[in-house]
A and B are shown apart, each in its own frame.
Chain A
Amino acid sequence: MLALAASHLNATSSESLSSAALSHRVQAVSRLNASLSRPAATQAEADARFAAFLALTFQSSYMEDGLMEFMTMIRGCTLVSEQNTVDRHHDSAFEPFSEQKHLVMMMERINAAHVTDAEPALLDEAMASLRALTALCQMEVHSEYLNVMIGVVTLCYQAPAAGKQHFYIACAPLTLVL
């Protein structure tokens, strides 16, 4: 929390707190890593670990050189959430993050969402740029990641009225880990 607070203040005020933010971050990551060497003894401890990952993830999104850290912490959040078994422990503080609760929450937000049309040219440019990367993808992980993005843009080409219908149909296979 100190690391996140320092980074946020560094970004939103005239205070220079990047050194303090980094120092707190190093300590937090070190202690979090040490704690992960054994299973959480209680749900509260599991929640604390998950909360720490969340805070570190948010902090990395305030760091100009934090992209790799951000991706790493996103991965950590998901992996720890699976270990936290938030779907099975109803006394978890993160129960709203469970698949079922999250889906309900997202349904409510989707129903309240305001969606505007995109210029077809914007999507065409996105698709062309993504397809141009195909020739560069020599590793399977690159190809798979690229194909997911191409799939996202492909889904953008939908009749406006089909949007919500597609959402309800597609919700089931979506993996909502948290």
Chain B
Amino acid sequence: MRTANLSLVAYLSLCDMYNIPARLSNLDFHALIDPADSTSQLLLGHFMTLQILMQTVVAFTWSDHDTSSPPTIFIAWLTAINGSLDSTMKAYFAWPMAMLQMWQNALTTCGSSKSDHMGIGFEMSMF
């Protein structure tokens, strides 16, 4: 039977994705973030969703605060991407939206939807 564990190396590999934009040429980078390109938007949306998936189960303990958590700004960004997609492309965004819903439900249950964690986590953006 296959086991599923969010290994730390997988988490770190995700963190390393923050270095990818700097490795790209200007042309490729702008293609990747092109708001008019639905494939680009789908990819960026999946990247954020992977971070939600992994960061909700890998909790780093910090010296000055409890744990890291996904930035709630992702809610706005993922919702905006979904709104920009036509009906055909929305089918490719079903998983991110389902994960987003799950995460929002968890935030509501925990009562932690305050915007203290709205900004991106330092540990993610600077890795």
Contact = CB atoms under 8 A, between A and B. Distances in A.
Contacts of B31: 139, 141-142
Given A71-B33, A126-B53, A157 B19 contact: no
A40 interface: no
Contact of A126 (B7, B20, B95): B95
A123 interface: yes
Nearest to B13: A152
A109 B29 CA distance: 31
Contact of A151 (B13, B76, B127): B13
Contacts of B67: 114
A149 B21 contact: no
Interface in A132-162: 132-133, 136-142, 145-146, 148-149, 151-153, 155-160, 162
A8 interface: yes
A136 B90 CA distance: 13
**Main SS class of interface, B:** helix
A106 B15 CA distance: 11
Nearest to A57: B125
B63 to A, nearest CB: 9
Interface stretch (A22-30, A31-39, A169-177): A169-177
Contact of B120 (A57, A64, A153, A158): A57
Contacts of B17: 148-149, 152
A56 to B, nearest CB: 12
Nearest to B41: A67
Contact of A158 (B10, B43, B60): B10
Contacts of B54: 152, 156
Contacts of B98: 125
A15 interface: no
Contacts of B120: 57-58, 61, 70
A62 B76 CA distance: 10
Interface size class of A (residues with CB under 8 A): 35 or more
Given A74-B21, A158-B7, A116 B57 contact: yes
A110 B8 contact: yes
Contact of A156 (B4, B44, B96): B4
B9 interface: yes
A118 B53 CA distance: 9
B106 interface: no
Nearest to A141: B28
A48 B37 CA distance: 35
Interface string A68-106: 101110110111001000000000000001000010001
Contact of A157 (B2, B18, B21): B2
A117 B92 contact: no
A156 B6 CA distance: 5
Most buried by B among A58, A75, A113: A75
Interface string B64-92: 00010001010011001100000000001
